[in-house]
Structure 1
């Protein structure tokens, strides 16, 4: 029976090919990260909608620069109470014309323009914040897909090779050439790897769904990466103090808080100016209703700030400045802690990455599995030992790809935390 088992294994294990896994079934479209990002910038509905908001806010600056329209009024003579004569505007009748122009005092117009300009800055910062958030989601899902698909290829190859062994054992089991318990162990190993593959596929499909929603497409993607694409992910030229200072000044959400603080200050000055009444300047013409015919006069008007001097709005605007200042300090603190934590996460991962050559380890582990397969076919190791090595190989593939995925995600989180593109080729 030992001789028969060795013949079976020699035929099956010779085709295992652990070192070079075959390609899993490819999704319909291969894409690089750059291709995905280019599509994202022109297809994402949220970005397109926010671009309209930016343009709309800029249009409001132009509107704030406009002067108030003059008003025109007229009086048409209807005779008198003794002699009612509608529209008596002829030579013996009466007509009167009035033109009035509002003149804003205390710089109200300029302050309104400044507030509109601040709103435009707010809209632009909101757009940048949206890009920052969605780009992080886009890249994380892209890299998740890439490394999940790399692991799937290994598991798919294992399942294909293991299926050949199981099929051979089924045939041998029917002939009584191998122990039935060995077949059961192999089938249990097969079920375990199939479950791992199914779980991984579900994770990939979740990432595919997220990517499809960001790109508004029905396509499924096969993510492609070249070594040069990952070469820029390092901390060689990165200084933490500069990152912290830059994030507290330039990060979009910090800029939003800063613009809100600036807007509160501008609104306070505007509310104070609103306490100053505006001037109405105009002219009047009266055909023959005044002390002389064809009377022409200059009209001046101004509100008397007796009861309402805008006290409540001024006080509320003053308090709002204090509130927005605290919000700005809070956002700056959040930015600093996020940068610091993202940086320290990279440092911890890089210590493991540089202290352990994953690519060399993977090569050596591939060679080890190949030797295990050969020794198993010769009967030098037991089935249980072979299963243990087989499981270790799949775990190794999953752990390495998970680690590489976490490393790239950590760098992208630092990009997100600083609001900058730090790691470009």
Structure 2
């Protein structure tokens, strides 16, 4: 699968994303609930037993009825709705956070698997040749033509390469498992990426200066935007809690057929708590502390974001400059010398010690080159994730 195909499958099938969308729906349902008022109350009263006439349910002229409605004062219902709406925005930002995080994980896993497979392919080529050579040495050793020391030297190299192979296989298995989960697939994913495309990805540079990247991150980074929105939401929550100190009034109408001063009496009723103390004082204090905490978290998130961007940019720049000091001629010369060492060893022109020393050095250098290339791309992807903007001129995928 290409990276674009993986991203399309991820957006449409990732179970974590699909589940997170329900949080938005739940927050929207909270807004609906916040708008709902208490139901009016209807109270009916009739005689159950008349002790004078000794009659049960002697309703006669004793019927009474009342209806009342709780009226919210102090803007508390409006404040509750505004707070609920802010939670919808927070739920959407949480979805954006998850989307950006998992998408970055998908891309870095894709590239990591690509380089791990190339590393594994190179190790297998070296190991196949070394195993053939070791088999020949063992055969000659039985005839007494080569020393046991030489066999052990080759065997040690084979063990080292087998360890590298096992590590690369295990890494590939873990990366495959991560990709399958991210795109909700039961089948292994093989990165479809040509060497030319990988080299193009490797060579791209940021299209803007570091300060501009930082500014874009403040505008777009979902984690930072979540901190800002959390602060706004905490202010709305404090306002709502303060409005809860305002007593509500219960208004109603009552009818008494024969139980009041007048017959068929119709009265207006009103009931309101006496505000002798602030009944929501503790929650208001708690809300204000949460508000101050949210403000501090904005600064914490800003500093963290700036630090991460500078660190990743410096890591990318260091790896990029280090790798591109190696010219294409250098890489060509390494390949030429590699072939020459093999051919000369076959012809007996160099000793086993020289051969094994070179092979160890070559193996380490090739694996480091793969790691350098991988780190360049992964640092670039991390910068894109932190800014949540494409700051590299990617040539084949977005």
State how far apart, in whole Å, the 1-side matches of 2:330 and 2:57 are: 102
- Secondary structure (helix, strand or coil) at the match of 1:99 reads strand
Contact residue 217 and residue 386 of structure 2 kept, 8 A: yes
* Aligned-pair CA distance for 1:216: 4.6
- Residue 285 of structure 2 corresponds to 315
Once residues 365 and 191 of structure 1 are traced to their aligned partners in structure 2, the CA distance between those partners, rounded to angstroms, is 24
Q: Do 2:244 and 2:280's aligned partners in 1 also have CA atoms closer than 8 Å?
A: yes
Residue of structure 1 equivalent to 2:79:
111
Q: In the TM superposition, what is the alpha-carbon distance from 1:230 to its structure 2 partner?
A: 6.3
Q: RMSD in angstroms over aligned alpha carbons?
A: 2.4
**1:303 shift after superposition:** 2.0
Shift of 1:176: 3.9
Aligned mates of 2:344, 2:286 — CA distance in 1: 82
Distance 1:354 1:48 in 2: 42
Q: What TM-score do the two structures reach when normalised by structure 1?
A: 0.84
Instruction: Find the residue that maps to 2:190 and give its secondary structure.
Output: strand
Matched, 1:208 2:155: no
Deviations 1:289-327 (A, max 9, x none): 333433333322222212335333333333332222112
Kindly report which structure 2 residues correspond to 1:293-304, keeping only aligned pairs within 5 A, or say none: 293-304=263-274
Deviation at 1:60, TM superposition (A): 1.2
Q: How far is the alpha carbon of 1:401 from its aligned partner? A: 0.7
Between the aligned partners of 1:419 and 1:163, the Cα distance in structure 2 is 48
Residue 245 of structure 2, aligned match among 258, 271, 275: 275
Q: Report what 2:382 is aligned to.
A: 413
- Distance in 2 (CA, whole Å) between partners of 1:189 and 1:322 is 61
Tell whether the 8 Å contact from 2:312 to 2:382 is kept in structure 1 after alignment.
yes
Structure 1 counterpart of 2:15, from 35, 45, 49:
45
Structure 2 residue runs of 5 or longer lacking an equivalent are: none
Structure 1 residues 256 and 85: alpha-carbon distance in aligned structure 2, compared to 1, 3 A threshold: farther
Q: Which residue of 2 aligns with 1:243?
A: 213
Identify the match of residue 163 of structure 1 among 121, 124, 131: 131
Alignment-derived partner of residue 4 in structure 1: none
C-alpha distance in structure 2 between counterparts of 1:373 and 1:43, whole Å: 49
Q: What is the CA distance between 1:104 and its match in structure 2?
A: 1.3
Q: Indicate if the aligned counterparts of 2:201 and 2:377 stay in contact, CA closer than 8 A.
A: no
Mean CA deviation greater in 63-72 or 112-121: 63-72
Shift of 1:180: 4.5
CA contact (8 A) 1:102 1:278 kept: yes
Match of 1:174 among 117, 133, 142: 142
TM-aligned CA distance change 1:421 to 1:299, over 3 Å: farther
CA contact (8 A) 1:78 1:84 kept: no
For residues 229 and 294 of structure 1, the distance between their equivalents in structure 2, rounded to whole angstroms, comes to 91
Would you identify which runs of 4 or more consecutive aligned residues in structure 1 move more than 6 Å?
none
Aligned counterparts, 1:96-175, within 5 A: 96-175=64-143
Match of 2:333 in 1: 364
Q: Does 1:399 align with 2:368?
A: yes
**Per-residue deviation, 1:237:** 1.2
The CA deviation at 1:399 is 0.9
The structural deviation recorded for 1:57 is 0.6
Q: 1:241 to 1:289 in 2, by over 3 A?
A: same
- Residues 190 and 72 (structure 1 numbering): CA distance in 2 closer, same or farther, change over 3 Å? same
Q: How many residues align?
A: 392
Correspondence for 1:184: 152
Q: Secondary structure of 1:316's match?
A: helix
Partner of 2:46: 76
- 2:223 aligns to what? 253
> How many angstroms apart in 2 are the aligned matches of 1:146 and 1:232?
13
2:31–2:85 CA contact under 8 A, matched in 1 = yes
Gaps of 5+ in 1: 1-30
Partner in structure 2 of residue 387 of structure 1 = 356
- The C-alpha deviation readout for 1:36-73, integer Å capped at 9, x for no partner, is 33333343333222111111111211222223321221
* 8 A Cα contact 1:108 1:270, kept in partner: yes
SS in 2 for 1:88: coil
Query: What is the CA distance between 1:229 and its match in structure 2?
Result: 6.0
